[in-house]
Amino acid sequence: MITLNDIFRQYGPAYRAQYGDRLLPSHRAAMAAIEDCRTEALGGHVYTCPNCATIRYSYHSCKNRHCPTCQHDAAQTWLARQQDLLLPVPYFLVTFTLPPALREVAQPPAPALDPVVSCLGRSAPAPCPRSTLPGWPDRYAGRVAHLDA
């Protein structure tokens, strides 16, 4: 299976040669860390089997937060926790971004939110599904499932 590390090692030098002047230093550092991850460049340990004398090399990981090799286990653990939180019903996310001036007003369940919700509902291309959250008045049913200010 091809990994991001392999892609960066193969195409990274040419990519940096062409777009290097546009890359942020943090992006360049992440690419370098991912390229070196679990290679001799980062060092490692040598294990020898006492019975058959088989030698095994175990290279150190880069521990970069953007490295899929290093963060795979943490990502899978997080994903499993999130799956446990899901309700056994079909649903989807509709996102509205509020301008900063409206965020203070849009703290549920504030009656002042009615005009904001009405405006957002009218600007949506299609009505949102009928859904309410505990603590939200019924007047929001069918318009907003969740508003994160």
Question: Tens of pLDDT along 45-75?
Answer: 999 999 999 999 999 999 999 999 999 999 9
Say how many C-beta atoms besides its own lie within 10 A of residue 91's C-beta. 10
pLDDT of res. 111: 60
Say how many C-beta atoms besides its own lie within 10 A of residue 73's C-beta. 9
pLDDT of res. 101: 76
pLDDT of 7 above 90: yes
Please indicate whether residue 123 or residue 87 has the higher confidence score (pLDDT): 87
Q: What b-and-e string marks burial along 2-33, b requiring 16 or more CB atoms within 10 Å of the CB?
A: eeebeebbeebeeebeeeeeeeeeeeeebbbb
Every domain of the chain and the residues it spans: 4-74, 87-149
Distance CA 75, CA 61 (A): 16
pLDDT of res. 133: 47
Question: Average model confidence (pLDDT) for the chain?
Answer: 79
pLDDT of res. 39: 93
pLDDT of res. 148: 44
Question: Tens of pLDDT along 10-33?
Answer: 999 999 999 989 999 999 999 999
What H or E segment, with its residue span, contains residue 13? helix 4-19
pLDDT of 80 above 60: yes
